[in-house]
């Protein structure tokens, strides 16, 4: 159902409020540059600092602005199952095409707890669900056997996998149906995951260079595997730069340098340090993103 490069889009702020005009322009630019879906209110969208009303507004803007040109997959995760259900209901009411549900952070549930969490959301909200496994942010790793159990639930259609372990990625691919979409959650591993059988990527780096990130998938999908591998290699410095500080600090700082949003974060995230700012600027110049 979902494949290709999907941008985990930032949430631009202006004077403490969501900058709706900047968000709409970012979405239009992303689609024009060739991405295959927009993913608002994920980690990169600073979702955990959005109020419920802001969350609803961001998702609705994404749906309105995408206008059916590409799917909108709304981040709707929480470390509280009841809160995740409420967010999922909001995403459905806003007419998102699907929801992205992260493994509960801080609680550190067992594998059975993970299964019951996602199962409960699926039972309460009739909307396609992509799971999201990112142990580096949540301190819990959802194992392939748990993913395989969840893949048997009709509305759970895929996973954004950011464990960083290719053996685990391959095991998920082996143990889930062919139509279950495994999406890369690590830009540095995009090509490797495509080659293993992945269906695309939910990308941070595509915030800054959507055309270049999408081109890797497009080449691979067209059967030009060596070309895709070369394009991925060329992007390595950019992929690394997106994580020189905590995501989404580098992505939003880069977009501010590009004049596409204000460099404004919500605490506890803070502006980038000067040493890293210089490093980021040099990388962006290398890729022709800024002058």
CA–CA dist 73, 35 (Å, integer): 13
Pick the catalytic residue from 132, 194, 231, 252.
Answer: 132
Catalytic: 132? yes
Pick the catalytic residue from 55, 160, 194, 252.
Answer: 160
Catalytic: 105? no
What's the token pair of residue 74? 């709304």
* Chain centroid offset of residue 101 CA: 11
Peptide linkage before 290 cis (omega within 30 of 0): no
CA–CA dist 69, 97 (Å, integer): 12
Peptide linkage before 248 cis (omega within 30 of 0): yes
| 17 Cβ contact partners less than 8 Å away, ≥ 6 residues apart | none
Nearest 10 degrees: Cα torsion 152, 154, 157, 161: -30
Strands 17-18 and 13-14: antiparallel
Q: Buried b / exposed e across 177-197, counting CB within 10 Å, b at 16+?
A: eeebbbbbbbbbbbbebbebe
Let me know: does 46 contact 32? Beta carbons within 8 Å: no
List residues with catalytic annotation: 132, 160
């Amino acid at each position: 159902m979902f494949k290709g490069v999907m941008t985990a889009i930032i949430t631009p702020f202006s004077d403490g409020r969501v900058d709706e005009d900047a968000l709409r322009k970012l979405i239009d630019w992303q689609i024009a540059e060739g991405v295959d879906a927009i993913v608002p209110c994920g980690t990169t969208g600073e979702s955990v600092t959005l109020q419920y009303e802001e969350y609803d507004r961001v998702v609705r803007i994404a749906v309105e602005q995408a206008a059916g040109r590409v799917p909108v997959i709304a981040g709707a995760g929480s470390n509280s199952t009841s809160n995740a259900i409420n967010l999922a209901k909001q995403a459905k009411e806003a007419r998102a095409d699907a929801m992205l549900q992260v493994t509960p952070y801080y609680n550190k549930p067992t594998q059975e707890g993970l299964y019951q969490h996602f199962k409960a959301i699926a039972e309460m909200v009739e909307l396609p669900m992509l799971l999201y496994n990112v142990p580096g942010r949540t301190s819990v790793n959802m194992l392939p056997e748990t993913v395989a159990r969840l893949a048997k639930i009709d509305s759970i259609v895929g996973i954004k996998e950011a464990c960083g372990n290719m053996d685990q990625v391959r095991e998920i691919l082996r143990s889930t149906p062919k139509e279950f979409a495994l999406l890369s959650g690590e830009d540095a591993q995009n090509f490797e995951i495509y080659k293993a059988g992945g269906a695309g990527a939910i990308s941070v780096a595509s915030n800054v260079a959507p055309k270049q990130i999408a081109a890797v998938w497009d080449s691979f999908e067209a059967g030009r595997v060596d070309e895709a591998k070369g394009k991925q290699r060329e992007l390595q410095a950019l992929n690394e730069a997106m994580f020189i500080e905590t995501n989404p600090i580098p992505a939003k700082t880069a977009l501010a340098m590009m004049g596409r949003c204000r460099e404004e974060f919500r605490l506890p995230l803070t502006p980038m340090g000067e040493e890293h700012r210089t490093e980021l600027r040099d990388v962006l110049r290398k890729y022709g993103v800024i002058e």
